[in-house]
Amino acid sequence: GAGVSQSPRYKVAKRGQDVALRCDPISGHVSLFWYQQALGQGPEFLTYFQNEAQLDKSGLPSDRFFAERPEGSVSTLKIQRTQQEDSAVYLCASSFIGDGELFFGEGSRLTVL
Amino acid sequence: KQEVTQIPAALSVPEGENLVLNCSFTDSAIYNLQWFRQDPGKGLTSLLLIQSSQREQTSGRLNASLDKSSGRSTLYIAASQPGDSATYLCAVRPGNYGQNFVFGPGTRLSVLP
């Protein structure tokens, strides 16, 4: 696609529900990142994929967070048993290896009630 | 651990002024540095990417410089316009390629007509 696409744009979940956020990176981009952004702050790293390999998941805040990219293109970030502190904007970004310029999607805004 | 700071946190200027936004990072071993703008409720839009071997990049009214040895980058905006109002973020990619980008907290810019 022309840009990084994320869905849903907005998600409201009741505490304890599971949610899944989808990211469709720019075609041909090997690297894919997930970031979490709280209101008024810069994005915080969650996890990084190179093709289908998850090379770094050091930023995932708990074992309730899980990300996958099984075929090296579309990625899903799953949050189990959501808590209020999970409310944030979840940003996906991709880059073409060897260049490094990062391109972001519009984000998925999660609100946990 | 790489840390990125941005000064000022917020800036309000009249239309037409030239302005400088500052970004500082603690570890000079970087692969590249990227400047973004973020409009309210939106994702991040890439403005300029500076590789570690470069000293500056220009795009239209924007000029970004990089002084790796002192751990600083500046974003210069010439002849500011109300449409430039947004939050500007810098992000540093550590020198060990493949690691995640580290973001600053951003500078919130308001250009008054």
> In this predicted structure, what is the pLDDT of residue A40?
86
Q: Which 8-state DSSP code applies to residue B101? A: P
CB contact under 8 A, B98 and A48: yes
Maximum C-alpha span of chain A: 42
Residue A66 pLDDT more than 90? Answer: yes
B3-50 pLDDT per residue, tens: 999 999 999 999 999 999 999 999 998 989 999 999 998 999 999 999
> In this predicted structure, what is the pLDDT of residue B80?
97
Question: In whole angstroms, what separates CA B17 from the centre of its chain?
Answer: 18
Give the distance from residue A90's alpha carbon to the nearest chain B alpha carbon, in angstroms.
10
Higher pLDDT, B2 or B78: B78
Q: What is chain A's mean pLDDT, rounded?
A: 94
Q: For residue A6, which residues of chain B lie inside 8 Å, CB to CB?
A: 43
Q: Which of A44, A59, A105 sits opposite B43 (nearest CB)?
A: A105
Residue A100 pLDDT more than 90? Answer: no
CB contact under 8 A, B100 and A100: no
A4-33 pLDDT per residue, tens: 999 999 999 999 999 999 999 999 999 999
Local confidence band at A77 (pLDDT 50, 70, 90 cut-offs):
very high
Q: For residue B4, which residues of chain A lie inside 8 Å, CB to CB?
A: 42
Query: Dihedral angle at the C-alpha atoms of A58, A62, A68, A72, nearest 10 degrees?
Result: -20
- Per cent of chain B over pLDDT 90 is 84
Local confidence band at B94 (pLDDT 50, 70, 90 cut-offs):
confident
Residue A98 pLDDT more than 80? Answer: no
Give the distance from residue A18's alpha carbon to the nearest chain B alpha carbon, in angstroms.
24
- Cα-based distances in Å from A38 to A21, A35, B93: 16, 10, 21
A30-47 pLDDT per residue, tens: 999 999 999 889 999 999
Give the distance from residue A101's alpha carbon to the nearest chain B alpha carbon, in angstroms.
6
Local confidence band at A99 (pLDDT 50, 70, 90 cut-offs):
low
CB contact under 8 A, B100 and A106: no
B10 in reach of chain A (CB within 8 A): no
Q: Find out whether A84 and A112 touch, Cβ atoms under 8 Å.
A: yes
Q: Find out whether A102 and A30 touch, Cβ atoms under 8 Å.
A: no
